[in-house]
Structure 1
Amino acid sequence: MQERDRLLIEEQFAERVARAESRFFVPLPLAFSDDPWYNTQVSFLLEALDALPRRPDIAFDSVWKVLEKSADAWAPARAGRRLTITDALGHLSADPRLSGPVAEALLGDVPSQTCGYLFKRLISRNPPASSERAVKRLMNGYGAGDALPAEIKAFLALVEKKYAASDTDTARRGAALIRRALTGETLDIEGTRVALSLPARIRILLCGLLYTARNERYHGESFSPFYSSAASIKTYTHPHYLFLVAYALVHLLWGHGGHAYAPALDAVEENTVVNLREARALYARHWTG
Structure 2
Amino acid sequence: MNSQDQRIQAHNNWPKREEFKAERAFRDRLASKGGDAPFKPISLGKDTDKTYHVCIGHFLDALEALPNRPDQFFDHCFRVIDESARPLFNKQGIKGIVQGLAGKLLSASNDDWQAIVDELGAHIPLMTCRYLAKRMLQVHGSTNDLEKQLSGRVEKCLTKKTYDAFAAKFGTDPANSCIERAASFLKLYLSGKPASKSRGSAYKLLDLHDPKNVPSYQQRIEFLLSVLLFTMRNERAHGGVLSAFRTSKGTLERYESYYFSMLCTYVFAAGILSLRGFGGVSSALIRKCATDNILLQKKFFA
Match of residue 207 from structure 2: none
**Selected match of 1:65 from 65, 73, 79:** 79
Structure 2 residue matching 1:94: 3-state secondary structure:
helix
**Selected match of 1:217 from 236, 239, 243:** 236
Structure 1 residue matching 2:124: 3-state secondary structure:
coil
Match of residue 3 from structure 2: none
Match of residue 277 from structure 1: 295
Report the CA distance between 1:180 and its aligned residue.
Answer: 0.4
**1:137 partnered with 2:157:** no
Taking the aligned partners of 2:260 and 2:181, their CA distance within structure 1 comes to: 20
Structure 2 residue matching 1:196: 3-state secondary structure:
coil
Q: Tell me the amino acid that sits aligned with residue 133 of structure 1.
A: Q
**1:88 partnered with 2:102:** no
Taking the aligned partners of 1:172 and 1:253, their CA distance within structure 2 comes to: 34
Which deviates further from its counterpart, 199-208 or 99-108? 99-108
Taking the aligned partners of 1:151 and 1:56, their CA distance within structure 2 comes to: 29
**1:10 partnered with 2:23:** yes
**Selected match of 1:36 from 44, 50, 54:** 50
1:89–1:207 Cα contact (<8 Å) kept: yes
Match of residue 49 from structure 1: 63
Taking the aligned partners of 1:31 and 1:124, their CA distance within structure 2 comes to: 44
Report the CA distance between 1:23 and its aligned residue.
Answer: 5.0
Gaps spanning 5+ residues in structure 1: where?
140-148, 285-289
Taking the aligned partners of 1:59 and 1:152, their CA distance within structure 2 comes to: 32
Over the matched positions of the two proteins, sequence identity in percent amounts to 24
Taking the aligned partners of 2:160 and 2:30, their CA distance within structure 1 comes to: 40
Match of residue 122 from structure 1: 136
TM-score, reference length from structure 2? 0.82
Q: Tell me the amino acid that sits aligned with residue 279 of structure 1.
A: Q
Cα RMSD, aligned residues only? 2.2
Match of residue 142 from structure 1: none
Report the CA distance between 1:151 and its aligned residue.
Answer: 4.3
Structure 2 residue matching 1:100: 3-state secondary structure:
helix
User: Relative to total residues, which structure has the larger helix share, 1 or 2?
Assistant: 2
Inter-CA distance 167–218: structure 2 relative to 1 (3 Å threshold): same
Gaps spanning 5+ residues in structure 2: where?
1-13, 205-209
